[in-house]
């Protein structure tokens, strides 16, 4: 379960028990820090916590002191890389050499509701928080409601000019899909003043959506990695017996692909059936077309209805194709290549993809080169992967790097493109991407067989793909 999902789950458990919660949010960082602005931790009065605001340096201390620190309302606390005595003779402090400002909110229901709407409904939001006393959230705007002032959020009486300025900052964050800070100033009552923003404007990005086309065993570790990153995962396949809850417990959606056969052994994708309720997933009978070709003969005793609907993917979505079927891959590429996806990748060697695109390109009225320009082939970054988990890691690492427009140590690269069709790069704060990066880095060590020459440097993510295609 991803970090945001854990926070929301704890919030709802606490609500059901009538327990208070306190939300700790990193709002400003100077120097080095493991977590960046937007990182969160939720603490319940019952002693549970979810999420992290550091690499383990601050969580216990903040959890222990959150309630008395917020006895009079929201506060901003500053933590830096000096050791302190917590009264028990235990030295603690940040080990990264940086300074972190943390907003502690003892009444975070409005913010958590916005977080839930962003995570579960895919609606982006901007949260504006005041960091100077009286601290706290001042405004929340969403992509559906461009302004959401309320008496609760404005209870401290910010003057109208400030309200207009904060509203404009929130709308700017929504448009740019990025966090920002307002009004650099000296922190009051600070014996060693440091600059910090007066307001933190946070963009709550909807989670990335990943559609995995193909429900074979190789798709399962991809779904696990993606869900751990907090992504919304959908798995689609024409084989109903593979679309089962126990096989993909991480998937938010399981969708049954529908094909029409046009000629001998040439399925043409005609759409997706409605999402299958994971508790009632059907199992195909042995010997049906579903077992042999991925074309289901029946589902729950009823013939699957076909339609003219195309695969249901959203602009800016991630999609990977791993059906292991030449005909189905051809149908999927024909349907997916024209869509404005952030990432479209296909499993298999370059020469196989070339054969596919020689059929697909004329149908689209494109050149083969134009098709390749929109496609990651072969899929993933070169980690020297050999087993399913490592291959899945290489694919998810490539997806993560594409989302953030980052460069990675690989032998191929392409100029990074914005993850959002409207321009700009989505930022998805979280702990799991750091773990993926660390694992990818370990696998890329020279002794792992990928970089036999230690002098190989950092290359953009998608440069000369031909270097990878020879293998």
Tens digit of pLDDT for each residue in 261-307? 655 455 566 555 555 543 333 333 333 333 333 333 333 222 233 33
For residues 244 and 278, give the distance between their C-alpha atoms in angstroms, rounded to a whole number.
7
Q: Which three-class secondary structure state does DSSP give residue 112?
A: helix
What is the predicted pLDDT for the residue at 92? Answer: 46
What is the predicted pLDDT for the residue at 326? Answer: 93
What is the predicted pLDDT for the residue at 407? Answer: 66
Q: Is the peptide bond before 378 cis (omega within 30 degrees of 0)?
A: yes
8 A C-beta contact, residue 114 and residue 95:
no
- Beta strands at 21-30 and 40-44: parallel, antiparallel or unpaired: antiparallel
DSSP character for 373? H
Strands (E), 124-194: 125-130, 136-142, 180-186
Say which residue the tokens 């966090």 belong to. 179
Segments in the chain below pLDDT 50 = 83-92, 150-152, 184-193, 195, 264, 277-309, 409-432, 439, 441-471
DSSP character for 54? S
The CATH class that applies to domain 209-469 reads alpha beta
Q: Phi first, then psi: what are they for 281, rounded to 5°?
A: -70, 135
pTM: 0.72
Over the stretch 160-197, which tens digit does the pLDDT of each residue have? 556 778 888 888 888 888 887 776 443 344 433 454 57
What is the predicted pLDDT for the residue at 68? Answer: 92
What is the predicted pLDDT for the residue at 470? Answer: 36
Say which residue the tokens 């798995």 belong to. 235
8 A C-beta contact, residue 177 and residue 203:
yes
What is the predicted pLDDT for the residue at 98? Answer: 80
Tokens of 179: 């966090």
What is the predicted pLDDT for the residue at 408? Answer: 62
Query: What does the domain layout of the chain look like in residue ranges?
Result: 3-204, 209-469
């Amino acid at each position: 379960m991803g970090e945001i999902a854990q926070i929301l789950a704890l919030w709802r458990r606490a609500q059901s028990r009538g327990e208070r919660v306190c939300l700790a949010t990193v709002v400003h960082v100077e120097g080095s820090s493991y977590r960046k602005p937007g990182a969160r931790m939720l603490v319940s009065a019952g002693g549970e916590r979810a999420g992290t605001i550091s690499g383990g340096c601050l969580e216990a201390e903040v959890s222990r002191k959150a309630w008395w620190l917020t006895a009079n309302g929201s506060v901003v606390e500053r933590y830096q890389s000096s050791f302190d005595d917590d009264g028990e003779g235990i030295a603690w402090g940040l080990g990264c050499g940086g300074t972190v400002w943390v907003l502690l909110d003892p009444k975070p229901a409005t913010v958590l509701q916005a977080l839930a709407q962003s995570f579960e409904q895919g609606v982006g939001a901007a949260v504006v928080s005041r960091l100077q006393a009286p601290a706290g959230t001042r405004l929340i705007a969403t992509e559906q409601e461009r302004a959401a002032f309320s008496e609760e959020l404005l209870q401290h009486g910010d003057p109208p000019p400030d309200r207009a300025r904060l509203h404009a900052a929130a709308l700017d964050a929504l448009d740019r899909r990025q966090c920002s800070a307002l009004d650099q100033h000296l922190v009051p009552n600070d014996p060693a003043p440091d600059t910090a923003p007066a307001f933190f404007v946070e963009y709550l990005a909807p989670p990335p959506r990943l559609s995995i086309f193909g429900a074979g065993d190789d798709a399962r570790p991809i779904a696990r990695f993606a869900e751990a990153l907090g992504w919304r995962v959908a798995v689609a396949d024409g084989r109903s017996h593979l679309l089962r809850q126990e096989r993909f417990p991480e998937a938010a959606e399981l969708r049954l692909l529908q094909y029409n056969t046009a000629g001998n052994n040439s399925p043409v994708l005609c759409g997706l059936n409605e999402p299958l309720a994971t508790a009632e997933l059907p199992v195909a009978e042995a010997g049906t077309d579903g077992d042999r070709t991925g074309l289901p003969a029946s589902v729950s005793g009823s013939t699957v209805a076909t339609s003219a609907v195309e695969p249901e993917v959203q602009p800016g979505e991630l999609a990977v194709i791993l059906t292991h079927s030449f005909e189905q891959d051809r149908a999927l590429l024909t349907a997916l290549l024209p869509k404005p996806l952030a990432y479209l990748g296909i499993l298999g060697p370059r020469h196989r993809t070339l054969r596919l695109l020689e059929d697909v390109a004329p149908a689209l009225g494109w050149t083969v080169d134009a098709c390749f320009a929109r496609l990651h082939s072969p899929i993933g970054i070169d980690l020297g992967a050999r087993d399913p988990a490592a291959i899945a890691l290489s694919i998810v690492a490539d997806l993560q790097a594409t989302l953030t427009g980052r460069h990675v140590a690989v032998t191929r690269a392409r100029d990074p493109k914005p993850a959002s069709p409207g321009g700009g790069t989505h930022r998805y704060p979280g702990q799991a991407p750091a773990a993926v990066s660390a694992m990818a880095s370990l696998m890329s060590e020279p002794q792992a067989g990928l970089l036999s020459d230690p002098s190989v440097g950092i290359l953009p993510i998608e440069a000369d793909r031909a270097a990878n295609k020879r293998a």
